[in-house]
Structure 1
Amino acid sequence: MASTTTFALDVAQRSLLEKGFFVLDDSLAGERISEMEERGFPYFTEYGLDFCKQFAFDERIRSILEASFEKCSLGHWLRYEDFPGHVECFRRGGPKAGRRVLMVHLWAKGSRVAYYVGSHLHDMATSRGRRSLYEIPLSELDRVGSEPEHKEFPDGGFVILDARLGFEIKQGYAITFLFAANEVLANWAKIILPHSEALEEKVSDMEKESTKIGLNFTFKASPGGGTTMKTETLVPMHIAES
């Protein structure tokens, strides 16, 4: 088992380095996303945190994150819907920016996306898009010779990618987790969860998954007036519907 895990990690790391993304096999992803949608995307619940733990802290994701960062934390939890005709990325700057943020795309059934191979390795001109992402002109992608690799997920899918990579969501949507090196998170706000002993217990269990991957959640004030804090800093659990 150890040799298989090591080989898989080596393959994933090489793909992330060279192509900018790696597709993970997961036959349950589409069904779980459909269930999440049917429930109305209840992120701030016990069910939502169980969902987060299953995918954001998947054993393969953990191994890639632990191999990529000295310390990192879950920074954003978003839902990106389709935006055909627009190539987007979360970070820009190419080699100068470095690989400091990794994204996990959980694709709903029937989704289609184009990942622009190697685009994470180039510093390109960008503009601010409509949903807090950078948009990359096709002329820039042509200039650096980045070609799209088209992926279809009739049954849903599971992908980890460099946050500098350009992608175009042609159809469907992706529930997205972003993990960032702790120095990147220094100026980000905290994720705020409702006060709940059950949720606090869930967070405590998730924190035990890895000594190198943080959550940095904070809870709303308790009925007694106090605020429960978990670990350090992080961004709000922002849900992008556009």
Structure 2
Amino acid sequence: MASTTFTLDVAMRSLLEKGFFDLNDSTVGDRVLDMEKQGFPYLTEYGMDFCKQFAFDERIRSILEASLERCSLGHWLRYEDFPGHVECFRRGGPKAGCRVLTVHLWAKGSRVEYYTLSHLHDLMTTKGRRSLYEIPQSELDRVGSRPEVKEFPDGGLVILDARLGFQIEKGYAITFLFATDEVIANWAKMTLPYSVGLEQKVKNLEILSANIGLNFKFEGSGSTER
């Protein structure tokens, strides 16, 4: 699946120093487009297969296990372009620590700015329109954080520290958040409609890593929590 050779050491260094790592995977766009054509059916058997292919990609798993040790998938949503707004999922800089990692699956034709080093500073933020934190440009200028522009004509796969500021200028990203156990304990569970087939898909995800869990619960007959 990868279009370039993956090295965990290089990925970890980029994640720690810049706040993100681009896996340079141009195969993502076609699958994201297919998900779009299907109407973004996240909480289905199709959605679980999509999740397995990307959020639980072997390279992503290795970064999660090296960075967070034990964590769970706790959030899965699509974020569209929002020009003029630099956002982040988590704030607090060094005090907050690296406890949440985000996976961006970029649609074809997307463009984003990642504000390097912003994850290393406790920046003033405001509550944004879409339940993310927004970072004023003045704060980014204050700490010398500059944007690194990424263009994804064929789609792309990026993992980033959730404290990192980003601005989606064009397109959208299907987004997964993985958080450590103490963080995920405060998050609501994602509810899945119970079916035997969907339960099996979830079990298939659970066996991929002993250190990466799922913040799911089933609703309906035979329902259980994950």
Correspondence for 1:32: 31
Opposite residue 120 of structure 1, the aligned amino acid is: H
Q: Structure 1: state its 5+ residue gaps.
A: 232-242
What RMSD in Å do the two structures reach over aligned CA positions? 1.3
Distance 2:90 2:13 in 1: 20
Opposite residue 52 of structure 1, the aligned amino acid is: C
Distance 2:87 2:107 in 1: 19
Q: Tell me, yes or no, if the aligned pair for 2:68 and 2:98 is still in contact at 8 Å.
A: no
Q: Quote the offset at 1:188 in angstroms.
A: 1.2
Percent identical residues: 75
Correspondence for 1:228: 223
Runs of 4+ in 1 over 6 A off after TM superposition: none
Correspondence for 1:104: 103
TM-score (norm 2): 0.96
Opposite residue 33 of structure 1, the aligned amino acid is: V
Correspondence for 2:205: 206
Opposite residue 49 of structure 1, the aligned amino acid is: M
What whole-Å deviation, never above 9, does each CA across 1:192-239 have from its counterpart, x for those lacking one? 1011000000000110000000013111121xxxx52233xxxxxxxx
Distance 1:93 1:153 in 2: 29
Q: Quote the offset at 1:190 in angstroms.
A: 1.1
Distance 1:25 1:170 in 2: 19
Q: Quote the offset at 1:148 in angstroms.
A: 0.3
Correspondence for 1:114: 113
What whole-Å deviation, never above 9, does each CA across 1:77-128 have from its counterpart, x for those lacking one? 0100000000000000000000000000000000000000000000011000
Q: Give 1:69-80 correspondences, 5 Å limit.
A: 69-80=68-79
Q: Give 1:134-213 correspondences, 5 Å limit.
A: 134-213=133-212
Opposite residue 171 of structure 1, the aligned amino acid is: K
Q: Tell me, yes or no, if the aligned pair for 2:83 and 2:167 is still in contact at 8 Å.
A: yes
Partner secondary structure for residue 187 of structure 1:
coil
Distance 2:101 2:122 in 1: 17
What whole-Å deviation, never above 9, does each CA across 1:136-174 have from its counterpart, x for those lacking one? 000000000000000000000000000000000000000
TM-score (norm 1): 0.90
Correspondence for 2:14: 15
Q: Quote the offset at 1:131 in angstroms.
A: 0.5
